[in-house]
A = this chain, B = another copy of it.
Amino acid sequence: MFVRITTDRTPRPNSLSDLGMTSGSNSIVSLSEFTYKKGTEIFGEKEPAEYVYQVKCGAVRSYKLLSDGRRQIGAFHLAGDIFGLENCGAHRFTAEAVVETTVRLIRRQRLEQVAETDAIVSRNLLSMTTSNLQHAENHMLLLGRKTSLEKVAAFLLEMDGRLSAAGVMALPMSRLDIADYLGLRLETVSRALSRLHEARILDFIGHNQREIVLLDRRRLARFDLPS
């Protein structure tokens, strides 16, 4: 549980692309790619923030730990998402690849330089930070005030919006990850999913139970109360 496999986490330059940070014709920002194996750490909490990342494919969890091992996952980052964006010099989360994950990356310092002169890039930085803040605010409401069933329903609807393809969502993360995202135990998550399955609100396909079809979004949304 507490063993940390230390691998070479030094990114190697690979290609150039768009981090959503270019402003019009200004694509000065050079990018490289790197692939992390399932379960490996991308960066650790309090490490100096050298890079900013964008998920090309795969999934990333970022979390905080208490000293006794309790874990709170603050966010999952899926294809297209940017993470590791810090204002101060150090990361405030640990980030790990949930599955094999390829990321694009850019030196933080370089990005700051560009932001200094380019108002569009600067505004994009603010806009992304605000998005993160908005997600965190909604998640506080979930963590503090929703029941286990409401939490799981909210999670499914969030993931449905972010990774559903052809009516089926293939969750990359385990029940334990979901539990640590929702402030629950994995058994509680499992029980909630079973209840939603019994109620014919969702269906499982595939061999493990990570591929889910939402049969009745309307009824699911009723569990996740509106504000």
Contact = CB atoms under 8 A, between A and B. Distances in A.
Given A119-B116, A227-B66, A71 B133 contact: no
B227 A130 contact: no
In the complex, the count of this chain's copies comes to 2
A65 interface: yes
A64 B129 contact: no
Contacts of A86: 130
Contacts of A132: 133
A183 interface: yes
A144 B141 contact: no
Interface string A196-227: 00000000000000000000000000000111
A51 interface: no
A85 to B, nearest CB: 9
B143 A183 contact: yes
A72 interface: yes
Interface string A118-145: 0100110111011011101111110111
Interface stretch (A25-33, A87-95, A164-172): A87-95
A68 B225 contact: yes
Contact of A137 (B88, B130, B136, B225): B136
A12 interface: no
Contacts of A125: 126
A10 interface: no
A67 B130 contact: no
17 contacts: A45-B227, A64-B140, A66-B141, A67-B227, A70-B145, A72-B141, A87-B130, A93-B137, A126-B126, A129-B130, A129-B133, A133-B136, A136-B136, A136-B137, A144-B180, A144-B182, A144-B183
- The 7 A-B residue pairs with the shortest CB-CB distance, nearest first, are A144-B183, A136-B136, A87-B130, A143-B143, A72-B141, A70-B145, A143-B144
